[in-house]
Amino acid sequence: NAQMAESPVVILGGAVATLTQGRGSLQDVDQLSVMRPLCKFVATVTRVRDIVPTLRRAFQEARSGVPGPVFVELPLDVLHPG
């Protein structure tokens, strides 16, 4: 367990496209709610231009203070725009 071991771990999770979130898509899971109690930082990226700044912050948060796991959700339409 990265949290108990105080290990700086960055977890990346895929997600359904932002337009279909919350509409009963087959694999639509509220990952942020699941990960929030386990991670010291959770975020979802909603725009392509926010990927790098969000990942930078995630790595910073994972290493800062007491190291620990962080989670970044990347919806399908952000990973594959167009």
pLDDT at 24: 64
Question: Residue 39: which of 18, 13, 21 has the closest Cα?
Answer: 13
C-alpha to C-alpha distance for 69 and 46, rounded to whole angstroms: 21
pTM of the full structure: 0.87
**Span 6-62, pLDDT tens digits:** 999 999 998 888 766 666 665 667 889 999 999 999 999 999 999 999 999 999 999
pLDDT at 23: 63
pLDDT at 22: 62
pLDDT at 37: 94
Pairing of strands 70-75, 41-44: parallel
Question: Residue 75: which of 33, 24, 12 has the closest Cα?
Answer: 12
pLDDT at 25: 61
C-alpha to C-alpha distance for 44 and 50, rounded to whole angstroms: 10
